[in-house]
Amino acid sequence: MSFMKLLIVVALCAVALFCAVGSFAAEVRGAWITSWDKGFYTPQEIDDTIAAAKKAGLNALFIEVRKFADSYYDSKIEPRGPEVPAGFDPLAYTIEKAHPEGMQVYAWVVVYRAWAGSNKKPPTDPNHILNKHPEWILKDVDGKDWPGDGMFLDPGVPEARDYIVSVFEDIVKRYKIDGLQYDYVRYPGPKWGYSDTALKRYYAETGATTKPEPNDPKWLQWRRDQVTSLVKICHDKIKAMTPNVAITGSTICYGPCNADFNKTSPYVETCQDWYGWMKSGYMDVNIPMNYKPETSDWMKKSFREWTDASSRWQGKGMVFQGIDGNNQSVENMLKQIEYVRAAGQAGWVLFSFNESAHRDKEAAELGAALAPAPKLPVNMADGLNTQASREAFDRGIKQAENKKYAEATIELKKAVELDPGYSEAFYRLGRCYLKMNKNENAREAFKKALEVNPCHEGANKELDMLNSKK
């Protein structure tokens, strides 16, 4: 299939998908913005990133606001990221600029990894958590403290867990984010977890008296439980504060995709039981890091196997598939997007979308295929309440059925205030205005319905009829 034919196919699929799912279930088209490279250090970089995302047909940005137990936002708890100008808050500015575009903002937080670097030396800042609490540092079975990808806090240390949770609570309390996204919410491998505190707790809780082997099933399950404990506590605290903030995680999906999740790499090697979290409702969205470009048969096969498996293992939540945006052509990205859509998943996220020499060209190619992105409801941390919105909608419909149109409009207005992405409520509001002979009010309501769902047949039809009467 030629690239132009593929563009046409994907564009038609996009329209069909959007028309099928409606507004409050619109496809999430995301991209990760790392704090390793330019893309959101300054106001100009953020403006450029949002413009490129809009050109590409994206509607969600996953911003890395915590990389090494530091902050790319205004934190009073952790040291500031060194690249950020004094007095500037990248997260607040991104939210301010992205939300008016119908673009969601997720705070991407690295959970356990707290430091990395080529020289394998700890941070020099005395206020860094690794220097304030060296007893929290993760150790391997031989007492070493540096896995291949940096220094970690030990999931088996309750004080470290509570500290991490407090950082995330602070972000959710103070920012109008649409979601919190975990990264590195796992052990680096089966040989890790041997800090003195973790071992003492393990001995006390299990009755063991000797250091367990890395692959001891009981020891693996104990460590799995430590990670799950943090995920559950975060869920409970965040949902108590702001129930509509989405809790998401970028999760491991490497190695063979066994039919039994309990035999896969995330479960066995890194103690990351993401299927269990999805079944328990501790995460709303799973984002498998399925970075397997279409450059070899085995990677194509693996991408599709893990995509299908993550659908089977989505539990009570949904899946946004992580797609490699760095090591393959736009044509191949679109093939994977098409596969994810065919699998019925809620969206996808590209890794990554930082400033680069080729970003504008790729954004233009993506945008040509994807068409303008459906706008997503935003400001979720500021009180979006879909359940209350549905209840108000139901009350409005009952009033309308009883021909109490003025009362119905009051309830339907409440519904769209609580959920600005509720296209059907806008449509029904317009219908009530028509019954009251308030044609201009009806026209505005139908326009709002079409802003969030251009495929709403009823709103299109009513607006055409109103326009024909001019």
Q: What is the pLDDT of residue 132?
A: 96
Domains and CATH numbers, the chain: 3-382 (3.20.20.80), 386-468 (1.25.40.10)
Structure token pair of residue 159: 């004080």
The structure tokens listed for 327 are 């090591």
| Residue 452: predicted pLDDT | 66
List Cβ neighbours of 329 (8 Å cut-off, separation of 6 or more): none
**pLDDT of 381:** 53
Condensed to tens digits (0 to 9), the pLDDT of residues 158-190 reads 999 999 999 999 999 999 999 999 999 999 999
Q: If you search the block for the tokens 């990395």, which residue do you land on?
A: 116
pLDDT digits (tens, 9 = 90+) for 369-421: 998 898 898 875 554 455 577 789 999 999 999 999 999 999 999 988 877 76
CA distance 21 to 170: 34
Residue showing tokens 């509720």: 422
Q: 434 pLDDT exceeds 60? A: yes
pLDDT for 193 beyond 90 = yes
CA distance linking residue 155 with residue 8, whole number of Å = 48
pLDDT higher than threshold 50 for residue 276: yes
- Return the pLDDT at 16: 42
| 246: β partners | 179
pLDDT digits (tens, 9 = 90+) for 87-110: 999 999 999 999 999 999 999 999
Q: How confident is the model at residue 453 (pLDDT cuts 50, 70, 90)?
A: low
Burial class (CB in 10 A: 0-12, 13-18, 19+), 297: exposed
Residue 3 CA to residue 7 CA, distance in Å, equals 6
Burial class for 298, CB neighbours closer than 10 Å (0-12, 13-18, 19+) = exposed
- According to the model, what pLDDT value does residue 386 have? 55
Alpha helices of 209-358 — where are they, by DSSP H? 217-241, 265-268, 274-280, 297-312, 330-342
Where does the pLDDT of residue 154 fall: very low under 50, low under 70, confident under 90, or very high at 90 and above? very high
Question: What's the confidence (pLDDT) of residue 244?
Answer: 86
Note the pLDDT tens digit of each residue in 59-78.
999 999 999 999 999 998 99
User: In 3-state terms, what secondary structure has residue 200?
Assistant: helix
Task: Give the pLDDT score at 389.
Answer: 77
Q: What is the mean pLDDT of residues 288-309?
A: 98
Predicted confidence at residue 18, as pLDDT, reads: 42
Stronger pLDDT, 419 or 129, i.e. the higher one: 129
Predicted pLDDT at 311: 98
Percent of the chain whose predicted confidence (pLDDT) is above 70: 91
Residue 458 has pLDDT above 60, yes or no: yes
Cα–Cα nearest to 178, from 416, 383, 420, 381: 381
Q: Lowest-pLDDT range, 276-280, 342-346, 460-464?
A: 460-464
Averaged pLDDT of the chain: 91
pLDDT at 121: 84
The answer to whether residue 325 scores a pLDDT higher than 90 is yes
What pLDDT is recorded for position 420? 75
pLDDT tens, residue by residue, 238-269: 999 888 899 999 999 999 999 999 999 999 99
Which pLDDT band holds residue 462 (cuts at 50, 70, 90)?
A: very high
d(CA 388, CA 310): 30
pLDDT score of 455? 57
**Percent above pLDDT 90 for the chain:** 80
Q: What is the pLDDT of residue 454?
A: 63
H/E stretch holding 464 reads: helix 457-468
pLDDT at residue 109, rounded to an integer: 99
